[in-house]
Structure 1
Amino acid sequence: MLIINKLLPQGAGLAPVLLKRAGVLALPFAARQHHEANLSDGEGAELGLRLPVGTTLRGGDVLVAEDGSLLRVEAAPEGLLQVRASAKQSLADLFRLAHQLGEMHVHMEAAADHLLLPGDPELAQWLERQDFALAPTEAPFDPPNLLSQLPEVMAQQHEQHEHHGHSHDHDHGHAGHVHGPGCNHGH
């Protein structure tokens, strides 16, 4: 088993020629949340991931094995839910949902008119009961840390309020870190 014990975020410091030569390790989002795991590279080689506690792998990160070999991490396509506001809702409803999901520690990717969420059947049922439009999709899932994304989502919501002739000043702080299904943080 080849042990991987070093991470270069986004390949920092590596020459482009080395990045081109690196192998590829495509992993779904849940697998990229583990700092310690036994994996396969898709070609039959066994890999032992042994990174510092709390490490999360992102697409574009480069792993360095004990033998000096390099593996570039990619987000593997996986089953997701694309969530949009229904005909009875507004974009502001979708932004409020993004905030609520963040408070529930659900990982997401937010775009101007939709959210991408893990393809969780219970989550899908909950969203359907709230009348959101859902579409299953298959795509790579590499959501940012919610705390880095939330200010952008809330700014878009405030812009929407201002288009209606008024603005609001709210405190939208959120302390802590983001969790997802199977995070094993004792919740």
Structure 2
Amino acid sequence: MIRATQVRPHYRWNEAAADTVVLGFDDRHRRRMTMTGTRGLEFLLDLQQAVALRSGDALVLEDGRLVEVVAAAEQLLEIRGTDPSHLVRLAWHLGNRHLPTQIVGKGLRIRHDHVIEAMVKGLGARVIEIEAPFDPEGGAYAGDGHDGGHDAAHAHHDHGHDHAGHDHKHHAYGHHNHDHHGHSHAHDHEH
């Protein structure tokens, strides 16, 4: 099976793509995985380290052909604040829980989660259920999202540590077992 061993960052390529893969958020952060394009091209993603793929990236096959990455539509919550200051406060609460969050126009997008939905509504947010591609921020250590840095793995697994004098667990809601940086993480989902 032909392998894809490199990634060209989003839209930094102009050749015609041989095929396209439509991937959800979880499948866009892998090191090794068999994939099938929308036109039937089968290949093995075989990177040296896990990379956070973004919509518009190209996977480079061993023979030089490119496969375009497209983010799949997912069930999301779009969170709106009453004003910019309120939105920043809401963003702080999401960040404090290490939730992958996408910043859009006048709101924030997260994966659908009823517990977080109740929390932000309790903080006065307006919440809209949508279906759209999910492309969250990479984090402070992510660079252009292709270095496989610590934050990408950090955002995807549970861990307990102390924040401002209170101990709590963080959750990457909706995640299961994933291959990150060559090793697996199991996730518990207690609330």
Q: Give the TM-score normalised by the residue count of structure 2.
A: 0.68
Q: Secondary structure at the match of 2:34?
A: strand
The secondary structure found in structure 2 opposite 1:135 is strand
- Could you tell me how far apart the structure 2 residues matched to 1:112 and 1:66 are? 39
Q: Which runs of 5+ in 1 are unaligned?
A: 150-175
- Kindly state the Cα deviation for residue 122 of structure 1 after the two structures are TM-superposed: 3.2
The structure 2 residue matched to 1:37, chosen from 22, 33, 39, is 33
Pick from 68, 75, 83: which aligns with 1:72? 68
SS at 1:68 equivalent = coil
Moved segments of 4+, more than 6 Å: none
Can you list the C-alpha shifts for 1:98-153, whole angstroms capped at 9, x where unaligned? 1221232211122342111112333323333434211111112222313289xxxx
Q: Which is strand-richer, 1 or 2?
A: 2
Q: 1:177 aligns with which of 151, 162, 179?
A: 151
Partners of 1:44 and 1:112 in 2: CA distance: 36
Corresponding position of 1:96: 89
| Aligned CA distance change for structure 1 residues 137 and 91 (closer, same or farther; 3 Å) | same
Superposed, 1:1-187 pairs within 5 Å as 1-10=1-10, 12=12, 14=13, 16=14, 18=15, 20-85=16-81, 89-147=82-140, 177-178=151-152, 179-180=155-156, 181=172, 182=175
Q: How many residues align?
A: 154
Structure 2: gaps spanning 5 or more residues: 143-149, 157-171, 179-183
| Alpha-carbon offset, residue 59 of structure 1 | 1.5
1:167 aligns to what?
Answer: none
Which amino acid in the other structure matches residue 83 of structure 1?
I
Cα contact 2:31–2:50 (8 A) shared by 1? yes
SS in 1 for 2:131: strand
Identity of matched residues, %: 29
8 A contact 2:75–2:129 mirrored in 1? yes
Please say which structure displays the higher CA radius of gyration.
1
Q: CA deviation at 1:75?
A: 1.4
- 1:46-82 Cα offsets, whole Å, 9 max, x none, are 3321112231111121111123321011212221111
Equivalent pair of 2:21/2:68 in contact (CA under 8 Å): yes
Q: TM-score scaled by structure 1?
A: 0.69
The amino acid of 1:10's aligned partner reads H
Question: What secondary structure sits across from 1:51 in the alignment?
Answer: strand
SS at match of 1:136: strand
Q: Is the 8 A contact 2:17 2:65 kept in 1?
A: no
Q: Is the 2:78–2:129 Cα contact (8 Å) retained in structure 1?
A: yes
- Report the Cα offset of residue 90 of structure 1: 4.0
